[in-house]
Structure 1
């Protein structure tokens, strides 16, 4: 059976590895130009083609994968004057792997279904390294038939694929997942600052927590930065963390849920961005909270410039 033609928009930090796996696993791949040409040129060298607009990319694809920053970017790519809808034919499947807002996802699904276009959300769990290795996890919100169509393409970059429900369910689960991880980040930061206040070093703190029931993968990457000052241990910016927590709070407001903890977690990251640290990575929230408490956990390294 002939493999579907894949279009990919957003070949940045996560998207490059995902797209690389798609083209290397035998799919015909078309990518859209990116402000950083290096990943685009790398993919073209591997056999990908390039489209100039989302409309052009949609016309050349059976499945389009989006990996952009958030809801405003998703909406512009889909609904814009040269967006996917402008070039799409009935039968096109769109897979949004961005962390977006469930309300927008469900609205796009309903709107595009009338045009014969299938909209699915498949936000991701994992790191850019796992994207390069094809070992991400995907939480897919899709109608059953659409899920069966897009699953082989998602499997090119995701080792774990969970069909969590209908359109919007993937983005809902992703927000809950990020609430947990970013909540941990805020708690680690506050605990480390309090520890420093009373003379407990990060090394002593880690000697107790590492390997205990409170250890986890997120803890390990967070503390790789705290202990080794490896600024790239967890490459996800504080501005993106703030954005995701805004989406969590928006979701709570939309359904009338009391959200005591997520509101507080959002404000931790909002403060960091307000202090001009939005381009710092998530583990560096520990330095922000330490500074606000008048202590230091170690030297703050310079962040590499990223596309």
Structure 2
């Protein structure tokens, strides 16, 4: 295992690139970090729950830090891909956090975070010589591994110009959205659409099943028509084919994002009744112990709540 502090020869092209740190090697982050390393960026990673991705990256040439502070000391740009705002704040301001290194740093937050928290944290860090931009992600772990994610970036033109080469290591599209915070706002709206579809699909399948319509019949009508889309296809890969990994996004994360959306609507003093209904669909699933299941299984939960088994229609 390569540890920081152990000298080793650097490739000449690596020496010409900024050093990248990566925190958050989960379903999305592991593929993103692998692509950063594959594209020749010097990479330092930090372990959290699982060592599998860390060990794989270290074997491929990455370094491993023991703390976020140590990672910051050996990085110029740090990419975060954690669950949400509390985890971002912990990585930055927690004990031995990134900010404790006391050095200029660019932090690229690819998490799905609360926009208000992002704006506040960016302003605080700016006073300490640290730049924070938001760069949340669209698409799935499959595209993360393939290096074809969509990235929505909130930051200045100069900040985006610096971060873009790193983002393009794992992105097919990099879309500027405006000043810091707008990337996370757009991400919430994107997830509102997708989680809204999930809630509608689940309810429609339940209603159809009550009338004797099988999920396969439902799919044969929708697929290829005007209501078909990429999200529909991954959702129904689970519904029809029972592929457990069709869409690896936890119901608890969906609830977190819809809760951020509710907070955003409240701060904007607007009514969002559809958003509240979507949030409640996921809240009910989480409250009954299904938070760790992936989003397409919401169809089974809604069906079960109404006395229907979609596998036996």
**TM-score interval, normalised by the smaller of the two chains:** over 0.9
1:257 equivalent among 270, 278, 287 = 270
Which stretches in structure 1 are left out of the alignment for 5+ residues? 300-307
SS state of the match for residue 311, structure 2?
coil
Alignment counterpart, residue 286 of structure 1, candidates 299, 302, 306: 299
The aligned counterpart of 2:283 is: 270
User: Are 1:19 and 2:20 matched, yes or no?
Assistant: no
| 1:176 match | 189
Give me the whole-angstrom Cα distance separating, in 2, the residues matched to 1:210 and 1:15. Answer: 31
Alignment partner of 1:159: what SS? Answer: strand
Once the two structures are superposed, the pairs formed by residues 33-48 of structure 1 within 5 Å of their partners are: 33-48=47-62
Matches within 5 A, 1:60-99: 60-90=74-104, 92-99=105-112
- Corresponding residue SS for 2:296: helix
CA distance in 1, matches of 2:26, 2:280: 27
Unaligned runs of 5+ in 2: 1-12
Other-structure match for 1:112: 125
TM-score by length of 1: 0.96
**CA deviation profile, 1:139-180 (whole Å, cap 9, x unmatched):** 000122111111100110011000101100000000000000
Residue correspondences, number? 298
Residue 303 of structure 1: aligned partner: none
Asked whether the equivalents of residues 34 and 40 of structure 1 are also in contact (C-alpha less than 8 Å), the reply is no
Structure 1 distance, partners of 2:87, 2:194, is 24
Once the 2 structures are TM-superposed, how far is the Cα of residue 12 of structure 1 from its aligned partner?
A: 1.4
Does residue 102 in structure 1 map to residue 115 in structure 2? yes
Q: Distance in 1 between matches of 2:17 and 2:182?
A: 27
CA distance in 2, matches of 1:285, 1:140: 30
CA distance in 2, matches of 1:232, 1:33: 23
Q: Which ranges of 4 or more aligned residues in structure 1 deviate by more than 4 Å?
A: none
TM-score, scaled relative to structure 2: 0.94
CA contact under 8 A between 1:242 and 1:269: conserved in structure 2?
A: yes
Q: How far apart in 2 are the matches of 1:43 and 1:272?
A: 35
Secondary structure of 2:151 counterpart: strand
Residue 150 of structure 2 is matched in structure 1 by 137
